Structure 1
Amino acid sequence: MNRAARNRRMVRDHSAGKTVTEIARMYGLSLNWTGELLRQHGANMPTSGRGIRCDLDIDEVVCQYESGSTIREVAGLYDVSYGKVYRLLAAVGVTFRPRGG
């Protein structure tokens, strides 16, 4: 599929109710790039803020980190940034392990 067709399908998917996260995963794109493409092609998207909103299950993220996963591994699992996971863990008061294992 060429890019123009992909972009039209992405906008259609968004109009049909799919989230930006779902669309990004379907097309193998980052959340930020997906949001930008949707904006460029007429989707009604917010233009300000800290990026695309991606709700994470806080309890699940904390459990994974406390079970031994690194912040980077958790971020990769949810396709979000290291910083997003770090800020979430810090906000709920998780005690961080020393760096470097």
Structure 2
Amino acid sequence: MSSQDTTVEEHGKRHKHEGPQKHIVAFIFSILLTVIAFSMVAAGEINGTFIYIMLVFMAILQVIIQMSFWMHMKDRGHIFPIVGILMGVFVVFTIVIMAEYWAWW
């Protein structure tokens, strides 16, 4: 392959190389989410419940961006890591809920 070729060969299959454009957009979006979160907390005049909800929502968006663009989980062949991550999230949430339930009683 020449350096001018825009395809990547993996396991005998060829697919188009994305290039840096999507990574730059994802990086800017991640920085923007971080600045918005910091600004909301620093303002101090916004309702606390709204801030918590927005911070969790922006954290979920941040995780999706990180997993999709930086860890390439959006590509084919990543089903086992995705299932493993989802199972880990399920186990952690179960542990947290059970700990809350145990502490409550």
Q: Which has the higher strand share?
A: 2
Q: Which has the higher helix share?
A: 2
TM-score (norm 1): 0.32
TM-score (norm 2): 0.31
For the pair shown, which has the larger CA radius of gyration, 1 or 2? 2
